[in-house]
A and B are shown apart, each in its own frame.
Chain A
Amino acid sequence: GAGVSQSPSNKVTEKGKDVELRCDPISGHTALYWYRQRLGQGLEFLIYFQGNSAPDKSGLPSDRFSAERTGESVSTLTIQRTQQEDSAVYLCASSPGMNSPLHFGNGTRLTVT
């Protein structure tokens, strides 16, 4: 079946612009996660959704970052007034339940110039 889909796969933007990253989870997966991975680094947790609510937003780096999920499906991660330190790969993952592994998308590579 279809896996987690992320778009765009690559995004180059100018410093100060807003960007929107999209994630389509696997159908039926109630849990959805966003992670950030800087070059050569591990995965940094950003936010988690259970259904449409976000019980854990602890990883969002600043108020420039926000995320929403609608219809227990698609999620968007928005970064306002992008900075060069926002350059990274943004990974989305979904999971059907608490004891299940996360299934990751291929990520969006964001470059802020």
Chain B
Amino acid sequence: AQKITQTQPGMFVQEKEAVTLDCTYDTSDPSYGLFWYKQPSSGEMIFLIYQGSYDQQNATEGRYSLNFQKARKSANLVISASQLGDSAMYFCAMRWWNSGGSNYKLTFGKGTLLTVNP
């Protein structure tokens, strides 16, 4: 069965430093996509970055980059130059397409609460 694991319930980082949020996944399907979302205390879900299983290069979006290690089944989010506004819950999610047809469901990990200290 497909599964997403985020092992860090909470992380702390100093402002302006980089931080890595861990995400591992388990699937036997070769076709899948990995997503990261940010959820501030306001509750909205904000899409950050996407990585496809066949993408050759790691995805980057501004200060966000995804460290995709396919053989290890990990898709860690790296935030460079942390800002106070980065304090939020971060969710890793996966969508996969199995041989039986398309599967549109996005399965989420339990999340990591990031706190950026001044």
Contact = CB atoms under 8 A, between A and B. Distances in A.
B105 A104 contact: no
A98 B106 contact: no
Most chain A CB atoms below 10 A, which of B52, B91, B106, B107: B106
A33 B95 CA distance: 13
A93 B64 CA distance: 22
Contact of B106 (A89, A102, A106): A102
A104 B45 contact: yes
A105 B92 CA distance: 18
A52 to B, nearest CB: 15
Query: Which bracket fits the contact residues of B?
Result: 20 to 34
Nearest to B52: A99
A98 B103 CA distance: 8
Given A42-B111, A43-B91, A99-B33, A106 B44 contact: yes
B108 A107 contact: no
A91 interface: yes
A93 B44 CA distance: 11
Contacts of A107: 43-44
A23 B94 CA distance: 23
A77 interface: no
A43 B102 CA distance: 21
Contacts of B93: 43
Given A41-B110, A43-B91, A99-B52, A50 B104 contact: yes
B12 interface: no
A23 B93 CA distance: 22
B109 A42 contact: yes
Interface string B98-118: 000011111111110000000
Contacts of B52: 99
12 contacts: A42-B110, A43-B93, A56-B103, A93-B106, A98-B97, A98-B102, A99-B33, A101-B35, A104-B44, A104-B45, A107-B43, A107-B44
Interface of A: 31, 33, 35, 41-43, 45, 48, 50, 56, 89, 91, 93, 95, 98-99, 101-104, 106-107
